[in-house]
Amino acid sequence: MIKVSIFFVETHTHLDLIKRNAQEVVKDAAEKKVTKMVTIGIDLESSKIALEFASLFEGVYAAVGFHPHE
């Protein structure tokens, strides 16, 4: 019998825009089997924040960039 582990990856989130504590959001997501998250930066400030979240939380990765309309 093959044992399968199921988990989810949140591929596009803005942890900096969520009104809740980021640590709670990451913990709640992990409890729902969301084991990886990509938090997005759309300008210099939010990209720095995304990198900070990625360094603070296991399974959180940053995508940095600039939105074309900013």
Q: What is the mean pLDDT of the chain?
A: 94
Higher per-residue pLDDT: 24 or 70: 24
Q: b/e for 40-54, b at 16 or more Cβ within 10 A?
A: bbbeeebbebbbbbb
pLDDT at 70: 67
For residues 63 and 68, the model is more confident at 63
The pLDDT of residue 9 is 97
Per-residue pLDDT tens for 18-52?
A: 989 999 999 999 999 999 999 999 999 999 999 99
Question: Looking at residue 67, what is its pLDDT?
Answer: 78
